[in-house]
Amino acid sequence: MLRTSLILYYTKLNRFSIAALAGALEPRLELRGLPISFPSDPARLRLALRAALRRQDRVVVGFSLATPQMDGLASFLARLREDFPERVLWLAGGPHPSADPAGTLRLGFDLVVRGEGEETLAELLTCLCQGEDGQGLAGASWLDGQGRCRLGGTRPLADLDRLPPFSPGHRIFGPIEITRGCPFACGFCQTAALFGRRPRHRSPAVVAHYAGLLAARGMFDLRVVTPNAFSYGSSDGRALNLAALRELLRAVRRAQGPSGRIFFGSMPSEVRPEHVSASTLSLVRRYAANDNLAIGAQSGSQRVLDAAGRGHSVADIVAAVTATRKVGLKANVDFIFGMPGEMESDQERSLVLIRRLVALGARIHAHWFMPLPQTCFAALPPAPMLPLLGAELARLAAAGVLYGQWQAQESLARRLDCSLDKLVFEK
C-alpha cells in the first residue's frame, strides 16, 4: 500500500463542490485515515504540498474548475509542476474539465474526473493507495502515450440520497444540493449536459436529516442548491409537484427546530419565471426565511429567449415579478447580456424590460455571456457590448437597482475567446 494523501484546493468559487466531494469520502471504510487538507490560496497550497510530500509516498492535488477559473490556470499549474515535479498527481474535475477533458489534460493535468465526481474520486483514491494509476476507471480521462485523450467508461448517474452533501468530519459545510439535472438545456448552461435532462432529487427525509445535523452544531440557516427551486420533486422538471415541495419544507423546518431558517428560491439557487405562482409563493412565505426570490429572466427579447431554449415568455417574467412583489418579497432578476446573435434591438428590449421591472420594485442581477463547453452556444462568441448598453447598466448600478459582475465577465469572456485554440471544446 502506498501512503497517499489528498489536497483539495478550496476556494470561494468551488467551496460547494469541494464540500460534497469531501463528504462523499467519509463513508468509505477503505479511505478511513486518508489525510485530507483544504488549502484556500496558492501559498497555503504550496505549504500543504511540502508537508504532505515529507510524510507520504504520493500526493493527489484536486482542482474543481468552472470555465471562469481557467483564465491563467495553465501558467499557475506549470509553476506548481516545476516546483513539485515528483510524486504528485494533478487531478481536475468540475464543469469545465468534465465538458472538455482533452483541453484540460493538455494544460498539464494527469487525470480528469468527468461529471459527477463523488464515486469516481473515491474509487480513484482507492486505486492509488493500492499502487495503481487510475487510468481506465469509469468517469476518468487521461492522455495516452501519443497525447490522445482516452475516456474511461460512463458512470451511472448518482443517487443523491446515498451521498452526503457536505463533510461533517472535516468541518466543511455548505448548502444542501436538493436537485440535479434540468430538462430545459438552455443554450448557455451546462447543467443538462453534465447531469442529464431528467431531474433527480434528494428525498425530504434525507435533506431533513442533514438540516438537523447542521442545527445540532449550531448552524440554523440552511440554503439549498438546485437549478430551479420550485421544481423540487417534479418527475420531469417542468410540471410542479406542490405536495413534494410542501413535504420538503415541512420536514426541514421540523428537523431544524424553532431556531432554524431555510432560505429557498434565493441565492445560491433561483426559480423559473413560469413557476412563480400564488401556490409556490405561499409556500415560501409560510416556511422560508428569505425576503427575496432570485428569478431567472435572462433576456427581455423573446427572440433571444427562444434561441436559448428558455421555454418561457417575456410576459412570464413580468408576471413573476408582479406576483413576487405583491406578497411582499423582493425580486432579484437575472439577466445575461451578450448572448450569441444578440442584436442592438435585443439589448434595447432588455433595457425596456429592466426599466419596467425596476418600476415594479425589482433589482437586476446582470451577467455577461461566456461560452461554456458542451453547451449549444459553446463555439459561439459573445455579442459585443454596445455603448448604449454599457452606459445604461452603469447608470442603473449607480442608482442601486442593478448589481453583478457583468463588466469583469465581459472582459474575461474576451480573454478566453482569444485563447480558444488552447481551450478546445470537444464534443
Q: Which CATH number fits domain 291-427: 3.20.20.140, 3.30.360.10, 3.30.750.200, 2.60.120.10?
A: 3.30.750.200
pLDDT at 134: 87
Beta strand 292-298 with 88-93: parallel, antiparallel or unpaired? unpaired
d(CA 16, CA 165): 9
Distance spanning both ends of the chain, measured CA to CA: 38
pLDDT in tens, 114-171: 999 999 999 999 999 998 888 989 999 999 989 999 999 999 999 999 999 999 999 9
Cβ contact 325:362 at 8 Å: yes
Distances (CA, A) of 22 to 171, 235, 313: 10, 29, 40
Alpha-carbon gap, residue 234 to 188, rounded angstroms: 23
Q: With pLDDT > 90 as the criterion, what percentage of the chain qualifies?
A: 89
Cell numbers placing 120? 469516481
Fold (topology level) of 175-290: Transcription Regulator spoIIAA (3.30.750)
d(CA 323, CA 329): 9
pLDDT tens for the 427 residues of the chain, in order: 789 999 999 999 999 999 999 999 999 988 988 999 999 999 999 999 999 999 999 999 999 999 999 999 999 999 999 999 999 999 999 999 999 999 999 999 999 999 999 999 999 999 999 988 889 899 999 999 899 999 999 999 999 999 999 999 999 999 999 999 999 999 999 999 999 999 999 999 999 999 999 999 999 999 999 999 999 999 999 999 999 999 999 999 999 999 999 999 999 999 999 999 999 999 999 999 999 999 999 999 999 999 999 999 999 999 999 999 999 999 999 999 999 999 999 999 999 999 999 999 999 999 999 999 999 999 898 999 888 899 999 999 999 999 999 999 998 888 776 444 343 333 3
Q: What is the pLDDT of residue 425?
A: 34
- How far is residue 366's CA from residue 77's CA, in Å, rounded to a whole number? 31
Could you tell me where in the chain the CATH 3.30.750.200 domains are found? 291-427
Q: Where are the domain boundaries for CATH 3.40.50.280 in the chain?
A: 4-151
Q: What is the pLDDT of residue 415?
A: 78
The reply to whether CATH 3.40.50.720 applies to domain 4-151 is no
SS (H, E, C) the chain: CCCEEEEECCCCCCHHHHHHHHHHHCCCHHHCCCCEECCCCHHHHHHHHHHHHHHCCEEEEEEECCHHHHCCHHHHHHHHHHHCCCCEEEEEECHHHHHCHHHHHCCCCCEEECCCCHHHHHHHHHHHHCCCCCCCCCCEEEECCCCCEEECCCCCCCCHHHCCCCEHHHCECCCEECEECCCCCCCCCCHHHHHCCCCEECCHHHHHHHHHHHHHCCCCEEEEECCCHHHCCCCCCCCCCHHHHHHHHHHHHHHHCCCCEEECCCCCCCECHHHCCHHHHHHHHHHCCCCEEEEEEECCCHHHHHHHCCCCCHHHHHHHHHHHHHCCCEEEEEEEECCCCCCHHHHHHHHHHHHHHHHCCCEEEEEECCCCCCCCCCCCCCCCCCHHHHHHHHHHHHCCCEECCHHHHHHHHHHHHHCCCCCCCCC
Interatomic CA distance for residues 203 and 209, integer angstroms = 10
Q: How far does Cα 211 stand from its chain's mean position? A: 21
Domain(s) of CATH 3.30.750.210: residues in the chain: 175-290
